Structure 1
Amino acid sequence: MKKTILAVVTSSLFAASANAAVVYDKDGQQVDIYGRMEYDAGQMSFKTSNAQDVKNFGGDGSARLGVNGKWATGSDVSLIGKLEYQLAGEGNDSFSSSDTTTTTFTDRYAFIGADFGNGIQATVGQQDSAYAELKDVTDTFNYFDGEDEDQFGNGRWADSYKVTYAADGWDLRANVAFSDTNKDPSAATTYYKRESALAAGYTFKLDDVQSLKAVLAYQAATQHTTTADNSTDSQYALGLGYTYDAFYLGSTYGQRKHDVAGYKDDIWTATASYKVLPEVTAYTNYEIVDPHNAAGKAAATSPSGENGEFYVFGSEYDFTAKAKAYAEFKLNRVAGYDNQYVVGMQYNF
């Protein structure tokens, strides 16, 4: 895939915008824009009245538009920034199977920072948490996967201070975030007062067609609830991603500790994909969230997969490097939950 100079220089920060087009480049200042248009249709989400029954066939259209900026300072340090918004074309901005979001216009990224060279960057604002490096090992599909690897949410944190190092096969990330809403600890809500995350990854280049990436990640959140203040939930995991020519195999395993509820979840995910033809890719995925050491829960009411278990089977056809169509089927293994499917098209620029 062709990359602009900006995307190459700041690859760890702007990896999602490799399609960006430079629109301004003068006197050490560079600005590029990128975007995506997408339409998905099928039985993708569940009813609000019954979270186990899938909705009838329907569709969601959406678009994204982002801007990257880089400004030379006359030294080895460059200033950098990113802003990205998403627009829901049909009044529904949800990409999750729960389909609970109704915002039609939302900000995804909004941060600024500095590139110190030699792979070191520091940024502040709304951005991916360090834990996203672990999630990326198996979050390789177009719609259904990536739902369980990160138990803290979508992985984008507001008020986030982040430092990264990406060079010589290493990918190291660390960040801390402070809640911007409900700062009053007496509020009758649940919210995170502080979040922190660490991730360390290394890619082993085995030969011209083989590579192995190992990732170790940890995140913690200090939260306020109606019954407890300054309690901490945490999650850790190890991920391995193996590439052999057109074949990819990835897996993550870890544990989420619920401090307030007093129990733990084991989380295991696995994904595999194979490029059957240059333009055709087939893939499959498995994810399970398994209650473990559940205080106050009888074994009979805490079966394996109680908190989530599913398979995903899918295929993708690439019209060009920036346009594709895909189809995915999600087999839900939790008792009583309907299965789901989606077909979609996506254009990137």
Structure 2
Amino acid sequence: MKKTLLAVVTSSLFAASANAAVVYDKDGQQLEVTGRIEYDAGQMGFKDSTPTEVNNFGGDGSARLGVNGKWATGYNDVALIGKADWQLNAEHDSAFSSSDANTDTINSRNVYAGADFGNGIQATVGQQDSAYIELKDVTDTFNYFDGINEDQFSSSGRWADSYKVTYAADGWDLRTSIGFSDANKDPDATATYYKNEYSAAAGYTFTIDDVQSLKAVLAYQAATQHTATDDNLTDAQYALGLGYTYDAFYLASTYGQRKHDAADYKDDIWTATASYKVLPEVTVYTNYEIVDPHNAAGKVVETSASGADGDFYVFGTEYAFTPKAKAYAEYKLNQTTGYDDQYVVGLQYNF
């Protein structure tokens, strides 16, 4: 086998695998194991009986385990790739809600396969992040409370039955994906579901000097939606994000709009974040997010700006014991009238 092919295959599996442990690396085949153990405690969720009142102090633990694989094909720089990871939710997944059905269950996160063509291009199929996650990553940089509103389609940003193509080279990060909902295989005539989803994102990083850089991201996603009374309605979201790095300082913002054809209303979504690494081990940060509804006269009154995630600030700090282990504390200041503030302290270990 050519040395250049071996170098491509064994140099790095994925950019996101910084915490992975390589357990096998031979003859162009590489296998990595990834994982995370996390425990959070505080007043994070709201009561079932009184949704505006925060729960008493409590804890919530979770663990992740996954594998990444890459296999050289012997054809130029093409390699087959795959990823699978799962999360075990100990206690309650949704912050102590007694109605949560995910207690002590294992849920799949990413399960996909594809090919790396060795020139910055990858093509994958399965359950995986949508292209829109590139926009969300601009401001979703912390631990618990931020990153809630940037993606209005999915809190996780992962789509099942999705096909994605990416190109990442020379400062560019281009992604496109399409997903087909499982619900469309045996739809309930009265249900509301996405028949398919599609998204695209384009990002470019400008390197200003040794300590300064600016990344710009433009993203769009849309879905064909079925409701009990209509079919093939469009639900769409677009946004622009900017992230500026100056040495230990990071400042970023995203702004966009979501348009709901089914209910005939619009939301403006704006997020902003800033962080500063005070010491190599200590980072302080703040975050602001708002979902601002705009309705024409006589249209449906939109309510997504209400609740704990309609308008809020986050203040936090983290301490890195090692590059893979950290402790953090965050306080969420809810600006929606009547909603209690929340806080969390947590420990996280990645491998």
CA contact (8 A) 1:44 1:97 kept: no
Tell me the residue number matched to 1:130. Answer: 131
Question: Separation in 1 of the partners of 2:97 and 2:205?
Answer: 32
Tell me the residue number matched to 1:89. Answer: 90
Q: CA deviation at 1:27?
A: 2.2
Question: Separation in 1 of the partners of 2:177 and 2:184?
Answer: 21
Tell me the residue number matched to 1:51. Answer: 51
4+ long deviations beyond 4 Å: 4-8, 95-101, 301-305
Tell me the residue number matched to 1:232. Answer: 234
From 176, 179, 200, the equivalent of 1:177 is: 179
Deviation per CA, 1:287-314, whole angstroms, max 9, x where unpaired? 000001355359xx77994470000000
**1:181 aligns to what SS in structure 2?**
helix
Q: Which amino acid aligns with 1:254?
A: G
Tell me the residue number matched to 2:111. Answer: 110
Does residue 1:121 correspond to 2:122, yes or no? yes
Tell me the residue number matched to 1:330. Answer: 332
Tell me the residue number matched to 1:70. Answer: 70
Distance 1:61 1:185, change over 3 A: closer
Question: Separation in 1 of the partners of 2:95 and 2:160?
Answer: 19
Question: Separation in 2 of the partners of 1:241 and 1:96?
Answer: 34
Question: Separation in 1 of the partners of 2:270 and 2:177?
Answer: 24
From 283, 286, 289, the equivalent of 1:284 is: 286
Does residue 1:20 correspond to 2:20, yes or no? yes
Q: CA deviation at 1:152?
A: 0.3
From 321, 339, 342, the equivalent of 1:340 is: 342
Deviation per CA, 1:305-343, whole angstroms, max 9, x where unpaired? 447000000000000100000000001111111110000
Tell me the residue number matched to 2:264. Answer: 262
Alignment of 1:118-267 (within 5 A): 118-153=119-154, 154-267=156-269
Q: Which amino acid aligns with 2:136?
A: K
Question: Separation in 1 of the partners of 2:198 and 2:25?
Answer: 36
Distance 1:348 1:167, change over 3 A: same
**1:242 aligns to what SS in structure 2?**
strand
Q: Which amino acid aligns with 1:63?
A: A
Tell me the residue number matched to 2:311. Answer: 309
Deviation per CA, 1:161-209, whole angstroms, max 9, x where unpaired? 0000000000000000000135344432211110000000000000000
CA contact (8 A) 2:63 2:88 kept: yes
**1:187 aligns to what SS in structure 2?**
coil
Q: CA deviation at 1:50?
A: 2.8
Question: Separation in 2 of the partners of 1:328 and 1:6?
Answer: 40
Question: Separation in 2 of the partners of 1:162 and 1:345?
Answer: 33
Q: Which amino acid aligns with 2:262?
A: V
Identity of aligned residues (%): 75
Question: Separation in 2 of the partners of 1:98 and 1:170?
Answer: 45
Q: CA deviation at 1:277?
A: 0.9
Q: Considering only aligned residues, what root-mean-square deviation do their CA atoms show, in Å?
A: 2.3
Question: Separation in 1 of the partners of 2:304 and 2:129?
Answer: 30
Q: Which amino acid aligns with 2:48?
A: T
Q: Which amino acid aligns with 1:166?
A: A
Question: Separation in 1 of the partners of 2:333 and 2:160?
Answer: 33
CA contact (8 A) 2:218 2:240 kept: yes
* More displaced stretch, 47-56 vs 277-286: 47-56
Tell me the residue number matched to 2:35. Answer: 35
Tell me the residue number matched to 1:293. Answer: 295
Give the count of matched residue pairs. 340
Deviation per CA, 1:247-288, whole angstroms, max 9, x where unpaired? 000000000001111010000000000001110000000000
Distance 1:140 1:213, change over 3 A: same
Q: Which amino acid aligns with 2:52?
A: Q
**1:172 aligns to what SS in structure 2?**
strand
Question: Separation in 2 of the partners of 1:98 and 1:201?
Answer: 41
CA contact (8 A) 1:219 1:236 kept: yes
Q: CA deviation at 1:6?
A: 6.7
**2:210 aligns to what SS in structure 1?**
coil
Distance 1:197 1:68, change over 3 A: same
Q: CA deviation at 1:88?
A: 1.3
**2:278 aligns to what SS in structure 1?**
strand
Q: CA deviation at 1:32?
A: 0.6
Q: CA deviation at 1:21?
A: 0.8
Q: CA deviation at 1:54?
A: 1.4
**2:327 aligns to what SS in structure 1?**
strand
**2:134 aligns to what SS in structure 1?**
helix
